[in-house]
Amino acid sequence: METGLTVAQSAAASLDRVGAAIATTTSVAEELAAHAREMRDASTHVTENLATEAAAVEENAAAASEMRATTNFITAAIVPVAATAKEQSAAAQQSARSTADLAGELQAIDATAEALRDQAEALRGLVTHFVVDDEPQHAPGVPFAAPTGPGPASRRGAVPPAGVLKELSFRAP
């Protein structure tokens, strides 16, 4: 973005210099045309030769005027492009800052998730050490089935429904 902005600004400055050179050329060409007319009046013998030169000078003056108009047109077209490039550069910088902020927030979320995983693993380790001392007793009329899925209950034995536990003890690993 910075390179595009620099190129656009350099091009605009170059076109301004070309416009100044064209204006100088136009002025000189107009002066030459005036001198040619004076010389034509002063000398009848040179008139035929100067008429050709005057026509060429006038063509050059017209071409220089046309070039000046073209330069002004191009300059008018480049100025908004340079302004847009500058705006886009600012927008790109803001986007980069926002992306950096988002990356920092994602790193913080990742660190929090890692800490939660570590805490969950520590809790999982603690829960696997709790065992029931007595045989499970069932409330009358409540069937009791041992869990079959993964987890501490299936590794250490069935855990009775809530309210039936008599006592829990902690065994050190």
**94/149 same-domain check:** no
**71/142 same-domain check:** no
**139/75 same-domain check:** no
pLDDT value of position 111: 92
Is the predicted pLDDT of residue 84 greater than 80, yes or no?
yes
Average pLDDT over residues 13-34: 84
Between CA 145 and CA 137 the distance in angstroms is 12
pLDDT in tens, 102-144: 899 999 999 999 999 999 988 888 887 665 555 555 455 545 4
Segment (H or E) for 132: strand 130-132
Between CA 68 and CA 24 the distance in angstroms is 10
Domain that holds residue 139: 130-173
**111/44 same-domain check:** yes
For helices 47-127 and 2-42, what crossing angle results, to 10°? 170
pLDDT value of position 32: 85
pLDDT value of position 164: 43
Is the predicted pLDDT of residue 13 greater than 50, yes or no?
yes
**172/121 same-domain check:** no
pLDDT value of position 89: 87
| Between 27 and 148, the higher pLDDT residue | 27
**75/56 same-domain check:** yes
**35/94 same-domain check:** yes
Output the 3-class SS for 105-118.
HHHHHHHHHHHHHH
Domain count, the chain: 2
**28/55 same-domain check:** yes
Segment (H or E) for 78: helix 47-127
**27/14 same-domain check:** yes
Between CA 126 and CA 140 the distance in angstroms is 31
Between CA 124 and CA 119 the distance in angstroms is 8
pLDDT value of position 115: 93
**31/47 same-domain check:** yes
